[in-house]
Amino acid sequence: MKILIAGGTGLIGSALTRAYLQNDTQITLISRSPGLTDSRLKAIPWDLDLITREINSSNAVINLAGASIAGSNPLAMRWTVKRKSTIRSSRIQSGEMLRQAIQRSIHKPDILIQASAIGYYGNTGALPVDESSPPGEDFLAEVCQAWEKSTSGVEELGVRRVIVRLGLVLSRHGGLLPLLSLPYKFFLGGPIGNGSQSMSWIHIDDVVQSFTHFINEPRTQAVYNLTAPSPVNNKVFSRTLAQTLNRPIWLTMPAWALEILLGEASTLAVNG
């Protein structure tokens, strides 16, 4: 088995790589800054000819590529006009290049897994949604729609495409959880706003197992929401996080404070 992972140095890509290398799977990463520390890995830059060559010998392609929505740290979270453009264009350009490479390749992969997010549905409050629900109209919803569309059409080439709309991925190795945990470590943690906003989460290990299932099960196709069975609101999540870290809940973070600090990006924490 050979798998090509675009954006493979991020949280999910790194977890997939660690898991698949244990099974002697050949992994090639497409990355602008690979920084490889494992001799078993191969990395290539974003070059159409090189990607096409790799796809010719790959069984599966996983597209996770795109600039971080939340940024590398709280100070980088604010969505400036330039940052919003980067978030959107990095996803579209990467997806379109993968689609072109598959079109040019002689031997097509069996499957393309296209990452997306439950932000596709917009802020629906407490209303549950499923894969058939319509998209939202805010910035994140628009980004998700464009990201999914960037690789559309490979189905006509005989490639099975699975779109994965990810919930909030929780891992101690990065992503959202360390950022949410930081205030608690300084005894400053608590719910955000009124704490009623929904948090549809999923553990990183379940993400890895799900991707493996998609690759190995030829009947999987189209769209999947990847979240734990039961979402919780922010108040319940905050209380559980405090208990896990053995910290009290002293404060409530006012929604207006985050809106001032982060601007439009505050929707990541304030809205469900």
**Residue from 215, 224, 205, 72 nearest 148 by CA:** 224
On the question of pLDDT at 196 being above 70, the answer is yes
| pTM for the predicted model, two decimal places | 0.90
Q: What is the pLDDT of residue 163?
A: 98
Type of residue numbered 234: N
Residue 200 CB coordination number (10 Å): 21
Asked if residue 190 lies in contact with residue 252, where contact means CB atoms within 8 angstroms, the answer is: yes
Q: What is the pLDDT of residues 261-272, one digit of tens each?
A: 677 666 776 777
Rg of the chain over CA atoms, in angstroms? 19
Residue 250's pLDDT band, with cuts at 50, 70 and 90, is: confident
Residues whose CB is less than 8 angstroms from the CB of residue 176 and which lie 6 or more positions away in sequence, other chains included: 70, 168, 169, 170
Region of poorest pLDDT, from 121-135, 153-167, 219-233: 121-135
Average pLDDT estimate for 197-226: 95
**Residue from 141, 147, 142 nearest 63 by CA:** 147
Q: Over 118-132, what HEC string results?
A: HHHHCCCCCCCCCCC
